[in-house]
Each structure stands twice: as C-alpha cells, then as structure tokens.
A and B are shown apart, each in its own frame.
Chain A
C-alpha cells in the first residue's frame, strides 16, 4: 500500500473572528484584519438538537434507519494568552480579545484621552443588544464556518505563567471544508504576555495575601433555540450570569484576613487583581462587592492554604457593574 505523504494535522489551529452587524447576520472574514491569536483551540464537533433517531419499529427486535439530524451547532473552547495591545488604545487599536469579549456579553468603553488610554469591559445589561460573532475556525485541516456565536468568559492563572482567557463558544454551524491555514495577521503578536507575578491583588483593602492561583468565571447561561419553522436551529438566547472569583492563598493569620468570619457574616468587599505593570499591557479585574461564599482548606506541600470563592455582586440592585475588566 503506498504511503500517503501528507495528512491532516491536529496541531495547526487558527481563528478568524469579527462581530456581526446583527444577530445571525454573519459576515465576511479576512485573514489580514480578523486574526485572533490563540493559545489553544479545542477540537470542533458538529452537534445536533435532534439526532434523527426513530422509535424501534413495531413487531421487531431491531431498529430502523434514522432521518437526517437537524439543528446543527458547534460548541468549542478558544484560549488566548492575556496580553495588551502594546500601543495606545483607540477606535482602531483594540484589545486582542476585543471581539471575543464583545461576543461574551460585554459592553466596551474606550477612553482615547492621550496618556490615559484604556478599554473597560462591563456586562451588557440585556435583554437585547448582546454582541455576537462570526468565526472561521481552522482545525485539523478544515475550516469551520460558524455564525451567531455567543461565548462565556473565564480568566485567570494557575501558577506563575501568563494568565489565559478562555472563551466557551456556542455557534450555529454553516459549513466545514478542507482548507489550509492561510497567512494571518495578528494584532499585538510581538507583545509578550505579562507573567503572573506582582499581580497586585487586593480584597477589602488587604494586599498582603500570598496568592497561588486565581480564576474569574462569568458563568453565563447560553440557551438553545429550536425552530420548526426554519432550518431547525434558531440561534441562542442569553440567560443569567453568575460571576465568581476563586483564589487559592496561603492561609493567613486571622488578624490579617479572617476568611471564615467573612463567610459567616456574608461580608461584601471590593476586590481587584491586576496582571502586568507596563502601560498598554496591563489587565485588571475589579469588583465592587465580592462576597465570600465558600472557604475550603488545602495544602501546598506542607503549607496550609485556603481556596476562597467569591460571588461578585452589583453595587445596587439591577446594576450591571458586578465586575469590570480594564485593559490599559
């Protein structure tokens, strides 16, 4: 049998993405302008609302052939290294994760004042006006064309390596075709992501806690919409969000930070964590009212540690300010 010289490679991944003008409107992607530099891309699988399976036929012990599956969609995860743009932010100089942040239910306010440029991402109030994206995902030698995509955002670092943003994406599937990865231009590809040291963590004014790892989770509910009077899949609907922040610290003296007391008394405190110290490569998560809801003991070798989980609450009922991501 002749040896096949080339094969589809599992290691070559790439992602193009841009915002849709309206939900499900799609759009044309360009390798020169729409590249999103990935750290990791999960394998893509086509899933279906209905798999086409039919009931067992009467009078037999066997099965019968399925009808074609309907309502196809794709769920996948894209990870990016947390890095800034390395240049002053403006309407045309956006954060490398800007499209993914907008597709994960965030409004963006860009401050263009010279010397104080920044972008602030806060939760979109809803129930309408959510950003959605069209993606071209290159995976295993194929191009997956996806639209009407929403994402759920996770952000953090497990050690001293650069922080990662993780976007769990749900999108409507349109096509998949054998396509080689093109030459893609990425913004900020020469900017090194800051490592997770000197992270400037503060909780309730306490800044001295020794942090082992940290993670923010948006916990955004993205529901499916079935439509018999159409192609089967009508896109996705956004439900509640429940942002949480988990952190592992060396267990401090109770005089420094009494975590169990704060949990017992349901205290809400301001929280902030910043990665990076160089302007235009800083990334800061801040929350006005972080409420400690879980305290679990752990160990790092012989050191006593605590795993703390905070729920991030809005400043007033109904506000969309339970957290803010500032890149500057």
Chain B
C-alpha cells in the first residue's frame, strides 16, 4: 500500500495517470480504467491541490472553486503512455 510521504492533514484533490485495461467481468470482456503504477507500485500523481479546512467547512461549492483556482495544469510524466496513441494490447495484461 502506498505510504504517504508528503501527505498534509485535511483534504486533497488530485489527478493520477491511468491506462485502459481489458478485463473479464461477469464473463464479459470490458475496458476498465486502472491507475498507472510506477516501479514502486505507487500511483503516478499528475497534480494535486490541498484544500484548507476553513474552505472545506464552507461546503462543496467553495471546495470546487478553490480547486479550480489552485489546481495546476496536469503534466504527464515520461512513463505515462497516451492510451489513444498506444492502446494496451491483450499481451500487456495477459496471464
């Protein structure tokens, strides 16, 4: 399990890198969005913003406004594939 190293107390909103993976669920093959993991097995965080408790106490609309104001534009790391250009093959998730 991921060990938070710089996790501040309170509420944090974040975006992570993901990939599309074909899975069999209830006998049907479906495309599922799964987090992309780095070499240490941790989710790759693209960007995040910490919401102060005083803003959180004002309600969800205030939180959303704070997020929109402070969230930086996501910058995809080199290891994150673009799923549209490089769709995962069945071999990537093969047993």
Contacts and interface: CB of A to CB of B under 8 A. Distances in A.
Contact of B12 (A19, A22, A107): A107
A94 interface: yes
B8 to A, nearest CB: 8
A200 interface: no
The main secondary structure of chain B at its interface with chain A is: mixed
Given A91-B13, A129-B9, A116 B34 contact: yes
A20 to B, nearest CB: 6
B11 A108 contact: yes
Nearest to A133: B57
Contact of A270 (B1, B12, B56): B1
Contact of A107 (B10, B18, B63): B10
Interface of A: 18-22, 25, 27, 33, 90-94, 102, 107-116, 122, 124-126, 128-131, 270, 286-288, 315-316, 319-321, 324
Nearest to A93: B60
B58 interface: yes
Contacts, number: 105
Nearest to A33: B59
Contact of A18 (B2, B13, B14, B57): B57
Contacts of A108: 10-12
B67 interface: yes
Contacts of B1: 270, 286-288, 315, 321, 324
The main secondary structure of chain A at its interface with chain B is: loop
B10 A131 contact: yes
Given A111-B14, A113-B33, 10 more contacts: A19-B53, A20-B53, A91-B60, A91-B63, A102-B56, A107-B12, A111-B16, A113-B18, A116-B34, A270-B1
Which of A110, A124, A125 has most B Cβ within 10 Å? A110
B4 A21 contact: no
B3 A315 contact: yes
Contact of B16 (A116, A321, A324): A116
A115 B57 contact: no
A231 to B, nearest CB: 22
Contact of A115 (B33, B46, B53): B33
Given A92-B61, A107-B11, A111-B15, A19 B4 contact: no
A102 B10 CA distance: 8
B15 to A, nearest CB: 5
B63 A19 contact: no
A122 B35 CA distance: 19
Contacts of B7: 107, 109, 122, 125, 320
